[in-house]
Amino acid sequence: MTIDALGAILLIPAISAALLAILPGYLLTAKLNVVAAFATFLTSLSLFVIEPTSGQYLLLDDLNKVFIVLTTFVGFTTSVFSASYIHHEIETGRLTPAFLRFYHAMYQTLMFAMNLALVANNIGLMWVAVEMATLTTVLMVGIYRTHEALEAAWKYFILGSVGIALALFGTILVYMAARPAVGEGLDGMVWTVLVKHAAQFDPALLNVAFVFLLLGYGTKVGLAPLHAWLPDAHAEGPTPISAVLSGLLLNVALYALLRFKMMLAVNSAAIAPGPLMVTMGLISVIFAALMLYRRRDIKRMFAYSSIEHMGIIVFAFGMGGPLANFAGLLHMTMHSLTKSAIFFAVGHIAQVKGTQKIADIGGLTVTNPALGWGLMLGVIAIVGLPPLGIFMSEFLVVSSTFARAPWLTVILVLGIIIALGGLFLRVGAVMFGEPKGKTAPAEASYVPMFTHLGLVLMAGIYLPPVLVTGFQNVAKLLG
Amino acid sequence: MSSLQFDIAHLLAGSLVLASFMMLYQDRLYALLNVYALHAGVLALSVAWQAYVQHAPHLYVTALIALVFKAIIIPVALHRIIRQLGIHREIENVIGVGLTMMAGIGLVALSMVVMLRVTPGADALAREDLAFALSVLLLGLLIMVTRRNAVSQVVGFMSLENGLVLAATGAKGMPLVVEISVAFSVLIAFIVIGIFLFRIRERFDSVDVQELDRFRGERR
């Protein structure tokens, strides 16, 4: 059997995970981690040139191509950031080489699990992959082994497991609904087969299944009121993992949800998943925006901002239609790039200042100009000010939904504005107040951060037509 | 399927719900673990019966996992952990036993109403199994939210997972059942090892709000 690109994006991380678990020396393994992530990214780009055929287990279409390229790209840039981040952690003694070996192996295992969830054509396999991604991130969140980190990991573990259990029940119900039409055996779980026959499924059973899937995978997306694990996991784990969690893992769970939404859309008798998603999205936006005002930990603050943005994205996909889907997809891409860039900056800032408490960080633009302005640019982007990419995608979300549901859109805009106020209020002192904390120059790698911000800026000014047509195709696919 | 086969399957699935109810009112950890072992044993019987009725030999593997891993190894390991770490043996309930039982009855009624109403087309055995499985799942969630200490939350989660295995085996011909039950066993093993390694003692025992604030990094 020859291995095509789809197999390769699974094999490269899997083999590297095994290698990284054995090899000693963190300088070498950090480099190897970057090389492996880069190789995976290059392989994912090749999907555009040579398209492998989908089988019973693996699938490739326009939708997951976008997700795969985004995941492998952010996975690669984060590995570059991670190399300089862990260098500092070793020096300060927060992590030991033995833990680092484990950390790198887990990083590649996580990449493997996320890629598997994205290419799986079997809803059972997809579920296993999401579970695996959850487990690896739990282990990484608890890696500092402080009381707080262990509590956060435990909380994430329990809530994540419950979410995953509900998702499995939903998956079983989908199989039950499919069995009369598709027949017993493997076909009953193959996504492409399910979509083809979804019109004949029992709508009542499909409705119940979707509710469980929404609650289950929605927990992993971090939708309020199922978000409780998210701020703790972001705040207490290593910052590269916060970047991957916010930038990628939330997207992967959302992807799983979108696949099931597409299935339900085929069956006209089933409930429309849209209103459910719109409601949860709006609740998340408003709730997270209000929560931003009382945050005292900088990583927790940006974790709440992630909940807000996932809310916006789910809102856009929930509204549906080519334009709103396009906007949701663009917003998801922009959010992944911006939020991981912010976490790159925050990671180095927390290392320089030796604290994550907002009150103890001040005057960053004076003491560490590159980091300070980098974070400032990231915050300007994330709150949705022009001319950056998120302004454009938020504008598209609002304009594409305003005609159809003016009141809902007003609530959404209100949430975005409240969040803008909250973030600026908190970040202002960090940026411009009198210098506080240690003022040592940072040994940071600025390349990943400014690459992401550059891409976001470019997207805000000019979107390449190739990208636009690509996204339009996906939007059509999503219905 | 003969009516006797159906009755036995029905009896075993019903016993699983009953075992879940028994877990609801235990107030000692060792007793809770023993009931969990019973729960897993009943699951193993139920899955084995399904394997026999459906002529699906691979389900015997799932039954064997349930018997060896869940009914024997995990309870024994947890017994040892409790003894070695000196975890409190009494379980603190958030709400009273009477109220918890009432809530449990409500949840079972809810799952019967929901599942029986949406599956008129499916065969009788699968319908009943799904309804029972959802009851076990919801009762597992109830155990998790009404208990304060980590071990009993884990036991609640494991009983919830037994409900899922029941649902998966009830769905006739479902692929990947064995793989999924293995994946879940790995998850549970992780949790149990997690308790041991992380030395999580009597979590949430303290109602000290400051402790909570410190954990959230929100104290001034």
Taking the C-alpha atoms of residue A18 and residue A26, their distance in angstroms, rounded to an integer, is: 15
Range of the domain at B11: 3-216
Smallest Cα distance from B154 to chain A, Å: 8
What separation, in Å, do the N-terminal and C-terminal C-alpha atoms of chain A show? 36
Of B114, B130, B160, the CB nearest to A165: B160
Tell me the count of A-B CB pairs closer than 8 A: 126
Query: In this prediction, what percent of chain B has a pLDDT beyond 90?
Result: 32
Put simply, the answer to whether B194 touches A154 (Cβ < 8 Å) is yes
A455, A330 contact by CB (below 8 A): no
Q: How does pLDDT run across A340-388, given as a tens digit for each residue?
A: 999 999 999 888 888 888 888 888 888 888 888 999 999 999 998 888 9
Query: What is the reported pLDDT for B1?
Result: 60
For residue A208, the chain B residue with the least C-alpha distance is B118
Put simply, the answer to whether A202 touches B119 (Cβ < 8 Å) is yes
Smallest Cα distance from A398 to chain B, Å: 34
How many domains, chain B? 1
Q: Which B residues in the span 143-162 are in contact with A, Cβ-Cβ below 8 Å?
A: 144, 150, 153, 157, 160-161
Put simply, the answer to whether A154 touches B200 (Cβ < 8 Å) is yes
> For A271, which DSSP code?
P
Residue B89 pLDDT class (50, 70, 90 cuts): confident
Q: How does pLDDT run across B202-220, given as a tens digit for each residue?
A: 443 433 334 444 555 554 4
For residue A228, the chain B residue with the least C-alpha distance is B216
Query: What is the reported pLDDT for B216?
Result: 54
Q: Is B113 on the interface with A (CB under 8 A)?
A: no
Kindly tell me if the per-residue pLDDT of B169 is higher than 90: no
Taking contacts as CB-CB distances below 8 angstroms, the residues of chain A near B144 are 158, 162
Mean pLDDT of B76-80: 88
| Interface ipTM | 0.87
Q: Which site among A141, A150, A172 would you substitute to test the B interface, given the most B Cβ atoms closer than 10 Å to its Cβ?
A: A172
Put simply, the answer to whether A124 touches B118 (Cβ < 8 Å) is no
Taking contacts as CB-CB distances below 8 angstroms, the residues of chain A near B220 are 296, 359
For chain B, give the secondary structure using H, E and C.
Answer: CCHHHHHHHHHHHHHHHHHHHHHHCCCEHHHHHHHHHHHHHHHHHHHHHHHHHHCCCHHHHHHHHHHHHHHHHHHHHHHHHHHHHCCCCECCECCCHHHHHHHHHHHHHHHHHHHHHHCCCCCHHHHHHHHHHHHHHHHHHHHHHHECCHHHHHHHHHHHHHHHHHHHHHCCCCCCHHHHHHHHHHHHHHHHHHHHHHCCCCCCCCCCHHHHHHHHCCCC
In this structure, the number of other CB atoms found within 10 A of the CB of residue A465 comes to 8
Put simply, the answer to whether B164 touches A151 (Cβ < 8 Å) is no
DSSP, collapsed to helix, strand or coil, labels residue A133 as helix
Of A148, A158, A185, the CB nearest to B215: A148
Taking the C-alpha atoms of residue A155 and residue B72, their distance in angstroms, rounded to an integer, is: 27
Query: What is the reported pLDDT for B199?
Result: 56
Smallest Cα distance from B12 to chain A, Å: 20
Put simply, the answer to whether B114 touches A204 (Cβ < 8 Å) is no
Mean pLDDT of B138-150: 86
Query: What is the reported pLDDT for B197?
Result: 64
Q: Which residue has the higher pLDDT, A413 or B194?
A: A413
Taking contacts as CB-CB distances below 8 angstroms, the residues of chain A near B133 are 169
Taking contacts as CB-CB distances below 8 angstroms, the residues of chain B near A169 are 133-134, 137, 164, 167
Query: What is the reported pLDDT for B212?
Result: 46
Q: Is B126 on the interface with A (CB under 8 A)?
A: yes
Question: In this structure, which amino acid lies at residue B82?
Answer: I
Q: Extract the residue ranges of chain A whose pLDDT is less than 70.
A: 1-2
Taking the C-alpha atoms of residue A340 and residue B107, their distance in angstroms, rounded to an integer, is: 42
> Using omega within 30 degrees of 0 as the cis cutoff, is the peptide bond preceding A24 cis?
no
Output Rg (C-alpha) for chain A, integer angstroms.
21
Of B175, B187, B218, the CB nearest to A135: B187
Taking the C-alpha atoms of residue B58 and residue A1, their distance in angstroms, rounded to an integer, is: 27
Task: Tell me the pTM.
Answer: 0.91
Smallest Cα distance from B216 to chain A, Å: 7
